[in-house]
Structure 1
């Protein structure tokens, strides 16, 4: 497979009152999950966990990640790592786009 250019902000569009997601795993020919998301303000993904470590890179806006009672505000250009088997919630207090890569 050759070099592939990804323009992440253009790959996923915001949808009013929804969460949009797109898997890039097959397109890139990789084994581990790689997704991009666009979350409208007020949307959330709650009580989520994975057997893999998650790397969340914010592309646009601010993503709130809550682990237990601790909230992390992750702005565009920053990344957060969520350890494997950690119950967490993802929330968009304002519109945000982010990519999620899972690794061992």
Structure 2
């Protein structure tokens, strides 16, 4: 599969209903040869975004001005953080520090919840 420089498919934003249990992995669907994203919460403090990557899809190396937490919901991913590879599987979470280059590659089809947390002290 070709490298993905940007998201190929963005589903409409969806709010998680209050006071109800949901399975986050059911809130975003796989698409052949694509990376699908769906934002489920956004505020000044950060965002929560669901992603579904087809096997072999990737996001090229980039940085973010705030910490990002990858919670793998399904499948397996290889993250490269500051040049070091980190593999994670369903049920595992990885912190990607602010201002450190990172990349994402789907080892298998995988889904994740990406939590971007803004430091109120940072500018």
Q: Fold match, TM over 0.5?
A: yes
Inter-partner Cα distance in structure 2 for 1:66 and 1:45: 10
Higher helix residue share: 1
- Per mean C-alpha deviation after superposition, the further-off stretch among 2-11 and 58-67 is 2-11
- Which structure 1 residue ranges, 5 or more long, are not aligned? none
Q: Normalising by the residue count of structure 1, what TM-score does the alignment of the two structures yield?
A: 0.88
Q: Over the residues paired in the alignment, what is the CA RMSD in angstroms?
A: 1.7
Partner of 1:54: 68
**1:10-47 superposed Cα distances (whole Å, 9 cap, x missing partner):** 10000000000000115xxx441110000000100011
Give the whole-Å Cα distance in 1 for the aligned partners of 2:53 and 2:69: 17
Q: How many residues align?
A: 101
> Is the Cα contact below 8 Å between 2:73 and 2:113 reproduced in 1?
yes
TM-score of the superposed pair, with normalisation by structure 2: 0.75
Which moves more between the two structures, 61-70 or 49-58? 61-70
Aligned match for 1:3, one of 19, 36, 48: 19
Question: Greater relative contact order (Cα 8 A, min sep 6): structure 1 or 2?
Answer: 1
For 1:43 and 1:2, the matched residues in 2 are separated by: 33
Counterpart in the other structure of 1:43: 57
Q: Tell me what 2:104 maps to.
A: 90
Match in the other structure for 2:79: 65
**Alignment-derived partner of residue 3 in structure 2:** none
